[in-house]
Amino acid sequence: MTDTPRRIHIFDPTLRDGSPSPGVALHPAQKHETAHALERLGVDIIEAGFSIPSDGDVDCLTRIAREVRGPTIAPSPALEAAATRCLHVFTFAGAIHTEYMLRTTPDEVPASSVQAVKLACQSTDEPTRCSAPPRT
């Protein structure tokens, strides 16, 4: 019996996590250049940022979604131009963040993440894309 090789998907949050970092302020042209560099590297999913902060960010993210064709672009709700889209659910799980920001315990974090995915599946216009039950 042969095992089917597993594919590892490369997820890059540089354009989301890099922008709010202290001392970092990427201009739209730099974000655009970075997205194309990630595409050339073969990154599967680019978390392009948040589309809520400004019209300039929305324009930049839309341009990235239109031009970068290989990787999946997240966040999807604001990026109708993307060829493929995804929903990224992430929960901080550090001890201080869990206790003081989430006001929960480390043991409760996975269950709350599963609930978030279930809610997201019920809230999309194509819930069949979330047909697989969340794993804990």
The Cα 124–Cα 111 span in angstroms is 20
- As for how many domains the chain has, the answer is 2
> pLDDT by residue (tens digit) across 39-54?
999 998 888 776 555 6
The 3-state DSSP class for residue 30 equals helix
Shared-domain flag, residues 97 and 52 = no
Cα angle, residue 24 at apex, residues 23 and 26 outer, rounded to 5°: 155
Q: Which carries the bigger pLDDT value, residue 117 or residue 87?
A: 117
**Domain residue limits at 63:** 9-86
Q: Are residues 80 and 96 in the same domain?
A: no
H-type helices in the chain, by residue range? 14-17, 28-41, 55-67, 95-96, 109-123
Q: Are strands 11-12 and 72-74 parallel, antiparallel or unpaired?
A: unpaired
12-30 confidence digits (pLDDT tens): 888 876 665 667 778 888 8
What is the rounded average pLDDT of the residues 5-15?
A: 81
Same domain? For 70 and 111 the reply is: no
Q: What is the pLDDT of residue 33?
A: 92
